[in-house]
Structure 1
């Protein structure tokens, strides 16, 4: 009986310490607004994190919220009028306003930067977005 209690006590302590360790990934929310160049909101538009299957849609006022890794640069993608719009989101960006219109569709710099980091970032982001930390963050951020 004493051995059983001792084993259970050791297992409980071990489990407690393993659960209290810091999570591997930290997240932040990115809020944004998607509007036409004349300022009219674009409701119901898809905003995706490039290289993943994670995304959201804009609300009636063109607002959106995404959960992104805290200290990572990510790229968002907006499929719009048979075109793909890319924007680079740096770790310091918490809010972004995207104006869509003539001459504002393509960001050559973001496309160039995406091509440089595509393979490495895809692997890393898919690991992050398939983690239990993301599932927990998804329930608490942007709600």
Structure 2
């Protein structure tokens, strides 16, 4: 499965998961949030894939599929699932990097780098205002950890 397709599928899946728990009311009627968030998630996955394709073009590497090996249907299905999970972690790491950029814009990033437990404190405070935030924050941290965040890199995920 090619990386852009895996990112689009992962974005759609994340949009579906989040959208099934919310609704959108407009124009005298209401819709399930998935109607709006599935295409939005697919679009975000596509945007991330174009950004990673541009980075590959700049480094003179041709974009390659995640797996070029042929095989049985079960093996290809397993590789497809792995590609989608990897893409979901990429999207989560991208959201984490946005969070780090926002902290830097507010001038709070140096404080968070000196005291890493403030990330946990931020998650707890934000969860008091918006309870599902803790789950989202955890998965974003998980995605960023998959790409190796560290204090030396200012807790930014280096997405490959």
TM (norm. structure 1) is 0.25
Of Structure 1 and Structure 2, the greater helix share is in 2
TM-score, normalised with respect to structure 2: 0.24
| Structure with the largest fraction of strand | 1
Q: Which has the larger radius of gyration?
A: 1
